[in-house]
Amino acid sequence: MLKPYYNEDSDFILYNGDCAEVMKGLDKCTVDLIFADPPYFLSSGKTVRYNDNEKTIYKGAWDETKSLDEINAFNRRWLSACREVMKNGATIFATGTYHNIFSIASCMMEMGFKILNIIVWQKTDAKPTLSRNYFNFTTEYIVWARKDMKTPHFFNCELMEQINGGARMSDVWRIPFLSSWELKCGKHPTQKPLRLLYRILLAASKPNDLILDPFAGSCTTGIAANLLDRRFIGIDQSKDYLDYGLRRKNEIEDTETAALYLRKMSENNEELMVMVNHAKPQSRVRMIETGICYMRAGDSKGSLLVTPGFERLQYVLLHTNGEDASMFRLKSKGHFQIWTRETLEAYGFQPSHAPYYIVLLFDNTKEIPVRNKVNLKENRNTYRAKIRPLSDFIGIK
pLDDT of residue 50: 61
Rounded Cα distance between 331 and 327, Å, is 13
**Bridge partners of 388?**
274
Q: What is the mean pLDDT of each run of 10 residues along the chain (397 residues)?
A: 91 97 97 96 70 69 83 97 98 96 97 98 87 89 96 95 86 93 91 96 97 97 97 97 97 95 86 91 96 80 65 93 93 92 95 89 94 79 87 74
d(CA 223, CA 228): 9
- Note whether 193 and 177 are within 8 A (CB): yes
pLDDT at 129: 81
CB 146 within 8 A of CB 108: no
Contact (Cβ atoms closer than 8 angstroms) between residue 101 and residue 143 = yes
**pLDDT confidence of residue 325:** 92
| CA distances from residue 209 to 92, 111, 230, 292, 356 in whole angstroms, order as listed | 13, 24, 5, 42, 51
Note the pTM of the prediction, 2 decimals: 0.81
Domain ranges across the chain:
6-265, 273-392
Query: pLDDT value at position 111?
Result: 97
DSSP-assigned letter for residue 76 = H
8-state DSSP, 355: S
CATH architecture group of domain 273-392: Roll (2.30)
For residue 303, the model assigns a pLDDT of 55
What is the side-by-side order of every strand in the sheet holding 292-296?
292-296, 356-361, 337-340
Q: What is the pLDDT of residue 127?
A: 84
> Distance from first CA to last CA of the chain, Å, rounded?
35
Instruction: Assign domain 6-265 to its CATH superfamily.
Output: Vaccinia Virus protein VP39 (3.40.50.150)
